[in-house]
Structure 1
Amino acid sequence: MMVNVIKKRKIVVFTGAGISAESGLSTFRDSDGLWENYSVHEIATKDAFEHNPELVLSFYNQRKIAAAKALPNKAHIALAELETVYDVIIITQNVDDLHEKAGSSKVIHLHGQLNRAQSSIDSTIIYGWDKRFILVNIAS
């Protein structure tokens, strides 16, 4: 018996900070964005973490808390609904999980994810994070 398989057409969507700004998350590059108050070199590099881990952890903990509270907006939901008709892959610069919260199943995060913590000793060790946990510097 031959089964007629209908393949969904593929769509690749690229998203950035604008989509999550509608959900209340601060962007990095807007005129009132996060880079207005911080230098990328003081919070977003390995050297920054080694020099001032408390500042780096505080910055990212604030981002984690905001992202955990944020809800997907109409754009996130519309992209998730496309999966009923198309094979959708979302490639995002965003570190939040609003696409996943909306129901998108194939999301590639170019800049990592706030809800994951990766070991600096063994990069294969990745821990899930949720709003109950705040990262602390245990190396001190």
Structure 2
Amino acid sequence: MTEDIVFENMRIDDDEVIQEEDLEMKYYLKNKKEFESLAKEMLSGKKVLFITGAGLSISSGISPYRNSKNAIWGSFITTWGTRKKFIEDPQSFYNVFWLRTHEKQEYLDALPNPGHLSITNFVELCNANVITQNVDELHLKAKVPESKLIEIHGRISMYKCITKNCTYEYDETITSIDINDYAIKGSMKGGDLEINPPPCPSCSNPILPQSLLFDEDYNSHSFYRYHEAMDWIEEADIVVFIGTSFSVGITEEVVYQAQTNNKKMYNFNVFKETKVKNMRPIIGPSEITLPLLERQFLYEAQKKIPKRQIWYDNTIKRMVFEAQEEFKEKQALKANSSTGRVRV
């Protein structure tokens, strides 16, 4: 049976490993049809777009915004997370809000979990891109190439200016700031950091974190690569959501595009999403379910490759590329047929 092969190398006589295997088997059997379907789609050469949210980073120690007893959404984030609030009092913006909810030492020190690492492998082997709503930098730490990753809501420990006509207002991002250099007392390590707002290296006015605030739009800074993100969304054949609440503009746009153009959608989360129609759920913690999908992916690849030589000469990557070229050819033929043109 498929599940026996997918788990064939995990029979280890250790209670902790067996318990972990039992948990993985539970989630595998619960989502088996979706794993098989998505793995085959990813091997087909179609364009896959991962949309990741806060749920992906929970097991790395990053608090989510919603749907958790540790979530920061319900407190004061919508009130304080605005450009308006920053302009009113930059020092309070940092000391009351930002350094308590986002730029904390444990967030800066956080490491990718197995879910992040699986996504990196999919990007390496498949025709895939990633748009993340997270500012935690964990996809980069997991080695997703920047050319394949859009951090649509910004990145922690980077900054922007809001002074009109400043070079950092739209075109460039400030990367040279160490927040500890502006400490009034204590430090990040001590957990009691209070700062004077860091100044812009160009115009000397107080600067904001490079994070999309609630009263800003995706075109407010070039860092968010909004137009490129729209191209990725339009071009994607399959959309895979991971740990998102579907409550921000980017997910609304992706869902609209997917439903309008009949794109296949999968959703990794700990609960079944009821707000979005025509989406296949994969239920369970993403640090478990994404590695299970990766195992299914390798199994499906193994069936296509003689003698299981899946690691030689980048065999999987080559196989996906060839499938991608074949898929493009079929799409071109279909387009030509629909317009009445005949290829010569």
Tell me whether the two structures share a fold, i.e. TM-score over 0.5.
yes
Gaps of 5+ in 2: 1-44, 183-195, 200-204, 207-344
- Establish whether residue 45 from structure 1 lines up as the match of residue 92 from structure 2: no
Q: 1:109 to 1:49 in 2, by over 3 A?
A: same
SS in 1 for 2:120: helix
Q: 1:54 to 1:35 in 2, by over 3 A?
A: farther
Q: 1:127 aligns with which of 166, 174, 178?
A: 174
What is the correspondence of 1:1-140 to structure 2 with a 5 Å cutoff?
9-30=46-67, 31-41=69-79, 43-58=80-95, 59-62=97-100, 63-64=102-103, 65-105=105-145, 106-121=148-163, 122=166, 123=169, 124-128=171-175, 132-134=178-180, 136-137=196-197, 138=199
SS in 2 for 1:14: strand
**Which deviations, in whole Å up to 9, do the C-alpha atoms of 1:101-140 show, x marking residues without a partner?**
001112112211113201112212311267x434642558
Q: 1:129 to 1:15 in 2, by over 3 A?
A: farther
Query: Could you tell me how far 1:67 is from its partner in structure 2?
Result: 2.3
Query: Could you tell me how far 1:17 is from its partner in structure 2?
Result: 0.4
Larger radius of gyration: 2
Would the aligned equivalents of 2:54 and 2:64 in 1 still touch at CA under 8 Å? yes
Would the aligned equivalents of 1:97 and 1:115 in 2 still touch at CA under 8 Å? no
**Which deviations, in whole Å up to 9, do the C-alpha atoms of 1:1-50 show, x marking residues without a partner?**
xxxxxxx6532101100001111111112343112332412x21111112
SS in 1 for 2:62: coil
Other-structure match for 1:4: none
In structure 2, what residue type is equivalent to 1:83? Answer: V
SS in 2 for 1:27: coil
Gaps of 5+ in 1: 1-7
Would the aligned equivalents of 1:72 and 1:101 in 2 still touch at CA under 8 Å? yes
Would the aligned equivalents of 1:77 and 1:102 in 2 still touch at CA under 8 Å? yes
Superposed structure 1 runs of 4+ greater than 4 Å apart: none
Q: TM-score by structure 1 length?
A: 0.79
Distance 1:45 1:67 in 2: 21
Distance 1:129 1:18 in 2: 29
Query: Could you tell me how far 1:92 is from its partner in structure 2?
Result: 1.1
Distance 1:119 1:71 in 2: 28
Distance 2:176 2:65 in 1: 22
SS in 2 for 1:90: strand
Distance 2:140 2:64 in 1: 19
Taking only aligned residues, the RMSD between alpha carbons, in angstroms, comes to: 2.3
Deviates more, 1:119-128 or 1:102-111: 119-128
Q: 1:97 to 1:129 in 2, by over 3 A?
A: farther
In structure 1, what residue type is equivalent to 2:154? Answer: G
In structure 1, what residue type is equivalent to 2:51? Answer: F
Distance 1:39 1:133 in 2: 21
Q: TM-score by structure 2 length?
A: 0.35
Would the aligned equivalents of 2:123 and 2:129 in 1 still touch at CA under 8 Å? no
Report percent identity of matched pairs: 26
In structure 2, what residue type is equivalent to 1:88? Answer: A
Larger helix percent: 2
Q: 1:128 to 1:87 in 2, by over 3 A?
A: farther
Distance 2:118 2:179 in 1: 30
